[in-house]
Chains A and B, each alone.
Chain A
Amino acid sequence: DVKVTQSSRYLVKRTGEKVFLECVQDMDHENMFWYRQDPGLGLRLIYFSYDVKMKEKGDIPEGYSVSREKKERFSLILESASTNQTSMYLCASSSPQGAGDTGELFFGEGSRLTVL
Chain B
Amino acid sequence: AQSVTQLDSHVSVSEGTPVLLRCNYSSSYSPSLFWYVQHPNKGLQLLLKYTSAATLVKGINGFEAEFKKSETSFHLTKPSAHMSDAAEYFCVVTYTGGFKTIFGAGTRLFVKA
Contact = CB atoms under 8 A, between A and B. Distances in A.
Interface string A69-91: 00000000000000000001010
A88 B34 CA distance: 21
Interface in B59-88: none
A112 B92 CA distance: 22
A42 B43 contact: no
A48 B99 CA distance: 10
Given A92-B44, A101-B97, A105-B36, 12 more contacts: A42-B105, A42-B106, A48-B99, A97-B32, A98-B96, A99-B97, A100-B97, A101-B95, A101-B99, A102-B99, A104-B46, A105-B92
Nearest to B9: A40
Contacts of B97: 99-101
13 contacts: A42-B105, A50-B99, A90-B44, A92-B44, A97-B32, A101-B99, A103-B94, A104-B34, A105-B34, A105-B92, A107-B43, A110-B42, A112-B41
Interface in B30-66: 32, 34, 36, 41-46, 49, 51
A102 B101 contact: yes
Contacts of A106: 46
B57 to A, nearest CB: 13
Nearest to A31: B99
A76 B42 CA distance: 19
B44 A101 contact: no
A107 B39 CA distance: 13
B31 to A, nearest CB: 10
